[in-house]
Structure 1
Amino acid sequence: MILKSEEDISKLIREDKWMMDILKCTRKLSLPDWWICAGFVRSKVWDVLHNVKKRTEIPDIDVIYYNPANIEENEEKKLEKVLNSLYPAIPWSVKNQARMHIVNTVSPYSSSVDAISKFPETATALGVKLDREDNVVLVAPHGITDLVNLKVKPTPNFYFSKARMQIYETRVRRKNWKSIWKGIVVTDVGVNR
């Protein structure tokens, strides 16, 4: 399958019942500025581009939202419990991006999309959600070119910081995506800055 556009990726997700069920389940929470991020989209695209027939298992489903009115971590845990009650077979991870700047020791994010733009890799800086009419809405602050061309490289937020590049490099080594998807090309690992 050839994936060239955001619409191609949205169609791919629309045609995947499992993904749509997860999106519909998450939408039930009515969270402000919510998205399902990262590996949920990336892994699906890379599986398709590698002709993987059985879905590659992902460690968690990353649900993010933005609510500066309540940045208590226990609120995120409550939401995970609600999602677990709705869809128990899923490893849910819920994070309020209005709080995550504290965890990541960076400047506050202005929205969930702002937070997504500052994820470590361009191919992972993705989010998807459903609107009220079940249309798939995809956000890709750095575009989809790296994703569909199987390139793993740091977002500018990481590339221009020596300390953050060390985090990127450690993360890429730990994830070891190339052992799962042979066609990907990882850049900027081991670069002395």
Structure 2
Amino acid sequence: MDHEALIKQWIMSDPDRMEALTIAAAQKLPGWCLAAGFVRNLVWDKLHGFAASTPLNDIDLIYFDANDVSDFRDREIQQRLMGVSTFPWSVKNQARMHARNGDYPYTSTEDAMSFWVEVETAVGAALDDSGEVIIVAPFGVEPLFGYTITLNSKRPKRTDFEARIYNKRWLQTWPKLVVNV
């Protein structure tokens, strides 16, 4: 089975996710996608056989624009999004996130995602110019189907990884998952 095609099918069958993608696409941000829980939670919900999706506590709209790395711009975009929908938006230009994370400057959205704490979180979805769902996944989508939460080797601080698992309650929400370090 083509797991990427399956994810696209699941997203296209989810009216809220398609609405969020359409709203995000209208912002015309460079290198954008809706990432982290937007895709990860959907896949884990489906693997666990949940009838309905778990609620998203935020929708992470990420993009890459090295020409304007001000957090003010992110807040402006977030306010604009909240003005057109009730989704819980969180907007972050990945061109500046390397400084917060103590990394070398990232070169793209996908490069930035390759530094995220968990491999399974580094998956995003966007719409191309023709409205088709595209997947952005520096580690591919296969890890999402392995019932694992995997520490990214670029982030060796296990304490951050363990804190995220505990605080986000992933093992309680999706009990078939196994921590993979």
TM-score, normalized by length of structure 1? 0.89
Give the alignment of 1:22-61 within 5 angstroms: 22-61=20-59
Among 181, 187, 190, the alignment partner of 2:180 is 187
Residues 182 and 4 of structure 1: CA distance in aligned 2, closer, same or farther (over 3 Å): farther
Runs (5+) with no aligned partner, structure 2: none
Match of 1:132 in 2: 129
* In the alignment, structure 1 residue 146 sits paired with structure 2 residue 139: no
Match of 1:101 in 2: 98
* In the alignment, structure 1 residue 92 sits paired with structure 2 residue 89: yes
Q: In 1, are the aligned partners of 2:65 and 2:93 still within 8 Å (CA)?
A: yes
Counterpart secondary structure, 2:130: coil
Percent identical: 35
Structure 1 residue runs of 4+, over 6 Å off?
Answer: none
Match of 1:13 in 2: 11
Runs (5+) with no aligned partner, structure 1: 189-193
Per-residue CA shift, 1:151-186, capped at 9, x if unaligned? 11112211xx3xx33211221222220101111111
1:61 positional shift: 0.3
Q: Which amino acid aligns with 1:120?
A: V
Counterpart secondary structure, 2:53: coil
Per-residue CA shift, 1:80-113, capped at 9, x if unaligned? 01111111x1110000011111111221111000
Counterpart secondary structure, 2:100: helix
Q: Aligned partners of 2:137 and 2:149: how far apart in 1?
A: 14
Counterpart secondary structure, 1:93: strand
1:4 positional shift: 4.7
Match of 1:191 in 2: none
Indicate the RMSD between aligned Cα atoms, in angstroms.
1.2
TM-score, normalized by length of structure 2? 0.95
Higher mean displacement: 135-144 or 20-29? 135-144
